[in-house]
């Protein structure tokens, strides 16, 4: 009986050998850790649908940032939860608000961290949409694309002034990257890069985030400006448009159902790519682990590795602290 000469199993005999020939590596330096920041002091408000995640006051966000840095995580992305909201989301560019305050405090405490500011209005509007609303002659509501752009630029400038190292617009308005780039450049922030949520789908995986950010739309939904989950060619178009407007990095959100999209962007662009391992993906992992159905460390690291294997350079994940500890064990 003839046996195959090429026997892949030869390279799987031991953990050391498997590690030596491993094609995709994952470490804490790949992670960006999201924080939800809210006004107050010594305030920690757990998010029921996201076990282990909480809305934090600035002082506790600083402590969380120190913990992330100690584990080798290089970056945070900040989301603001204001006390008051209004139709235009003015809190997004309030330099005394929670994000700007957290940027200053964390930058002072842990200057080595790369601080990213999520730029969107949905957390700050009383209606939960990503910009001011308008109605057509039939009474249908939609977000006013062009009215939103200067507001996003104002928010980006406020965050840059407060210490943000990277601006990350997530609103999915057409032309937002150019508007933000122009705003940053005209205010002297020419060296601050933009990580664009270039490919953000109208996904069902965002539910826990909307609980955390108190940002669920009160009327309508976001399918009029976020992408249809069925579309891949549109993802290429969105990515190339954002590159043309000045995006320095690209993001795909969510990650797990869109690994093919990450791979396609990796194929067509040499820009750094981030994958957002979103709240619903995190919640499913936690629920399955709490029910004893999966080995959480093993499955979590397998999922994060799949994002790297698909082509992501960076991963935004709520599992960052735990994953960093598991990788170091």
User: Which are the catalytic amino acids?
Assistant: 200, 253
- Is the torsion defined by CA of 269, 146, 155, 131 positive or negative? negative
Tell me the two tokens of residue 167.
């601006």
Residue among 106, 107, 118 at smallest CA distance from 170: 118
Residues 6+ apart with CB under 8 A from 51: 286, 290
Are 130 and 171 in contact by the 8 Å Cβ rule? The answer is yes
């Amino acid at each position: 009986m003839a046996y195959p000469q090429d026997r892949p199993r030869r390279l799987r005999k031991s953990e050391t050998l498997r590690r030596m020939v491993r094609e995709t590596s994952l470490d804490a330096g790949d992670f960006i850790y999201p924080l939800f920041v809210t006004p107050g002091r010594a305030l920690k408000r757990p998010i029921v649908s996201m076990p282990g995640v909480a809305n934090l006051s600035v002082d506790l966000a600083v402590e969380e940032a120190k913990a992330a840095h100690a584990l080798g995580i290089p970056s945070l992305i900040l989301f603001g939860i204001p006390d008051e909201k209004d139709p235009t989301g003015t809190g997004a560019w309030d330099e005394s608000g929670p994000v700007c305050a957290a940027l200053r405090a964390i930058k002072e405490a842990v200057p080595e961290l790369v601080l990213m500011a999520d730029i969107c209005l949905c957390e700050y509007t009383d209606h939960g949409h990503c910009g001011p609303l308008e109605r057509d002659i039939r009474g249908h509501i939609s977000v006013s694309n062009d009215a939103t752009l200067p507001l996003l630029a104002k928010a980006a400038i406020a965050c840059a002034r407060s210490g943000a190292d990277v601006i990350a617009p997530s609103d999915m308005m057409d032309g937002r990257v150019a508007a933000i780039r122009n705003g940053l450049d005209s205010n002297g922030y020419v060296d601050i890069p933009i990580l664009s949520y270039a490919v953000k789908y109208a996904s069902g995986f965002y539910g826990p985030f909307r609980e955390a950010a108190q940002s669920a739309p009160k009327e309508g939904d976001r399918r009029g400006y976020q992408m249809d989950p069925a579309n891949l060619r549109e993802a290429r178009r969105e990515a190339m448009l954002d590159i043309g407007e000045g995006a320095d990095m690209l993001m795909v959100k969510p990650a797990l159902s869109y690994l093919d999209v990450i791979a396609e962007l990796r194929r067509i662009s040499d820009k750094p790519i981030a994958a957002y391992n979103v709240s619903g993906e995190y919640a499913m992992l936690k629920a399955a682990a709490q029910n004893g159905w999966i080995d959480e460390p093993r499955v979590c690291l397998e999922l994060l590795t799949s994002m790297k294997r698909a082509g992501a350079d960076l991963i935004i994940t709520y599992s960052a602290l735990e994953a960093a500890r598991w990788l170091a064990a």
